């Protein structure tokens, strides 16, 4: 038994390697954020620099000491990687709001269905007809499984990256943002189920594997049970956990225990542990009893320790220079972008969106981010793909995530900037809102807007409140922009109200809204709403500006402050 223990040298190397990975990943992740890029980009670059691509070539002896490929240290690091990716999928699952899919109805279903079908068809057809050109090396895997994996890899989107991109460009709470988020939720759910089944098919030849039929049955039963009975039980149990156990330790222990049980079950069923963790995250995140602070604590616990270690370790797996194939990278990138943008764009157009918005939705859904990288990593571990295709998939995931935001902004850009203040009048400015909740605030602002423009109060209130029920319109930093489309309206109408105490608009950061801007736009002009929302995001980006707004007492002071801010 003594021989099974790690030696002092191995323990020292283990702690040094984990410390080096974590420090490098966090530093590079923060630098990436400073340049407006997702943290995962910096974390992977840190791994590439510390891996065989750079550090391994410059200091091979030190690299072998810190990151051995065999022995107890390597086994521990591999186990930590399994735990890290499972916890990351827990957080990703918690982002899934199943009710958002139903609220968006036809648009979400059309975009998600076409966004899976078109890239899946292109990916499968390409990998089946020309496998060698797409990196298939006959590595002991059936060509059918390779084609199924490649098709699935092109079909999935990265919900966390998409949400962050929409927040950065001020479209997260817009109608376009609601369609994109709900579609991405649906695609993630379907994509991970398909991938779990493919992993079951790939592993069915191993000695301990279950029959394929058993794996399929267990995956479908686990999914159905988690999303029905499991959700119901969690809704009942969570209030007691949060009421009678210590915070945040008690809730964290409860959630992580469930995650590990779910991960263990899915691994036993013949698919990767991450699938069970993802489904547990979906069930937990969908509970209305999960506090926002609890959700944020779990996300930070995972995102600032486990996730950086996992994504940095990706760079340790292969030499990105030795296995870089420019033709393969270009081919994968082209097929991936065409399939996803065209598929989602056509789905959005079928749902009634104008062409300009449809292509913007396609570009938003094209972000692959961390999810693509996780799929590629697992496929490499299972021997489905080789190093060349793995490198191509990682590069594709990073490039699509980086260009998504700029492409959306370019597609939606108008020749003349639209300002929300151009549609605001003195009577539509309320210096002190009397409302106690968001729906009262919406009605109070509609009444003010009607005094300015003569719109129908009841119709406008119904339009804005219906939109609010579909998806909350609270932004971060104390801003809320309730909005709606009004039949018969010829030009946009705006109203502004200030709530000193703040009103809960279910904002992403949990802060109450103090500056509330109502937007009513024509039904047949989809682009104007996006332009005005983007203008509002720019106008109130500066915290000093937001503080000054709360000091104004009249419409004149408010308009003067806006003009001074824009001039600066």
Residues labelled as active-site residues: 483
Angle at 289 between CA 285 and CA 290, to 5 degrees: 45
Distance CA 165, CA 172 (A): 8
Beta carbons within 8 Å of 86's beta carbon, 6+ residues apart = 259, 260, 263, 273, 274, 276, 277
Query: Tokens in use for 300?
Result: 């930070």
Given phi > 0 = left and psi -120 to 50 = alpha, else beta, which region is 51? beta
Distance CA 94, CA 466 (A): 25
Distance CA 137, CA 129 (A): 14
Q: Please, are residues 87 and 259 in contact by the beta-carbon 8 Å criterion?
A: yes
- Beta-bridge mates of residue 484: 520
Q: Helices in 158-211 by DSSP H: which ranges? A: 159-168, 175-202
Pairing of strands 513-522, 479-480: parallel
HEC string of 319-372?
CCCCCCCHHHHHHHHHHHHHHHHHHHHHHHHHCCCCHHHHHHHHHHHCCCHHHH
Q: What is the largest CA-CA distance in the chain?
A: 84
Pairing of strands 493-503, 429-430: parallel
Provide the angle, in degrees to the nearest 10, between the axes of the packed helices 106-129 and 143-155: 150
Q: Helices in 270-314 by DSSP H: which ranges? A: 273-285, 292-301, 307-314
Distance CA 529, CA 395 (A): 34
Provide the angle, in degrees to the nearest 10, between the axes of the packed helices 273-285 and 175-202: 150
Structure-derived torsion over alpha carbons of residues 466, 471, 473, 478, reported in degrees to the nearest 10: 130
Q: Please, are residues 276 and 229 in contact by the beta-carbon 8 Å criterion?
A: no
């Amino acid at each position: 038994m003594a021989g099974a223990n790690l030696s002092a040298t191995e323990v020292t190397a283990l702690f040094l390697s984990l410390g080096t990975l974590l420090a490098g990943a966090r530093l590079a992740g923060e630098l990436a954020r400073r340049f407006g890029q997702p943290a995962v980009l910096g974390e992977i670059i840190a791994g590439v620099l510390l891996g065989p691509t750079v550090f391994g070539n410059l200091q091979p002896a030190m690299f072998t000491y810190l990151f051995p490929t065999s022995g107890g240290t390597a086994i521990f690091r591999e186990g930590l990687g399994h735990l890290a990716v499972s916890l990351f999928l827990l957080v990703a699952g918690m982002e899934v709001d199943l009710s958002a899919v139903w609220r968006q109805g036809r648009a979400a279903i059309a975009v998600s269905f076409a966004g899976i079908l078109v890239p899946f068809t292109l990916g499968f057809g390409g990998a089946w007809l020309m496998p060698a050109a797409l990196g298939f090396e006959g590595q002991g895997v059936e060509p059918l499984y390779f084609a199924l994996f490649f098709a699935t890899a092109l079909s999935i989107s990265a919900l966390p990256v998409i949400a962050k991109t929409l927040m950065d460009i001020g479209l997260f709470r817009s109608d376009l943002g609601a369609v994109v988020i709900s579609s991405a939720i649906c695609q993630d759910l379907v994509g991970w189920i398909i991938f779990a089944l493919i992993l079951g098919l790939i592993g069915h030849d191993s000695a301990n594997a279950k029959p394929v039929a058993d794996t399929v049955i267990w995956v479908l039963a686990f999914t159905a049970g988690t999303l029905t009975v499991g959700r119901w039980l969690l809704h009942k149990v969570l209030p007691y956990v949060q009421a009678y156990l210590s915070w945040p330790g008690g809730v964290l222990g409860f959630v992580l225990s469930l995650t590990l049980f779910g991960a263990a079950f899915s691994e036993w069923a013949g698919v990767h542990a991450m699938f069970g963790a993802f489904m547990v995250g979906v069930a937990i995140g969908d509970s209305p009893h999960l506090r926002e602070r609890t959700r944020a604590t779990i996300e930070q616990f995972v995102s600032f320790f486990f996730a950086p270690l996992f994504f940095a370790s990706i760079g340790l797996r292969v030499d990105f220079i030795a296995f870089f194939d420019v033709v393969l990278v270009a081919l994968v990138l082209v097929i991936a972008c065409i399939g996803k943008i065209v598929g989602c764009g056509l789905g959005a157009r079928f749902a009634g969106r104008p062409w300009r918005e449809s292509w913007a939705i396609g570009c938003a859904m094209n972000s692959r981010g961390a999810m693509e990288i996780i799929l590629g990593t697992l496929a490499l571990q299972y021997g489905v793909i080789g190093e060349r295709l793995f490198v191509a998939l990682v590069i594709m995931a990073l490039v699509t995530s980086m260009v998504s935001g700029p492409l959306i902004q370019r597609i939606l850009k108008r020749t003349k900037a639209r300002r929300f203040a151009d549609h605001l009048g003195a009577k539509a400015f309320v210096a002190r809102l009397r409302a106690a909740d968001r729906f009262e605030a919406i009605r109070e602002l509609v009444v003010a807007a009607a005094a300015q423009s003569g719109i129908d109060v009841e119709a406008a209130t119904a339009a804005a409140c219906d939109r609010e029920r579909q998806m909350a319109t609270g932004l971060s930093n104390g801003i809320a922009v309730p909005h709606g489309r009004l039949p018969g309206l010829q030009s946009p109408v705006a109203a502004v109200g200030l709530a000193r105490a703040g009103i809960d608009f279910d904002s992403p950061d949990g802060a109450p809204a103090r500056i509330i801007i109502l937007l009513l736009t024509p039904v047949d002009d989809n682009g104007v709403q996006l332009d005005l929302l983007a203008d509002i995001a720019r106008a109130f980006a500066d915290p000093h500006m937001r503080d000054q707004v709360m000091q104004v007492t009249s419409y004149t002071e408010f308009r003067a402050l806006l003009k001074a801010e824009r001039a600066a």
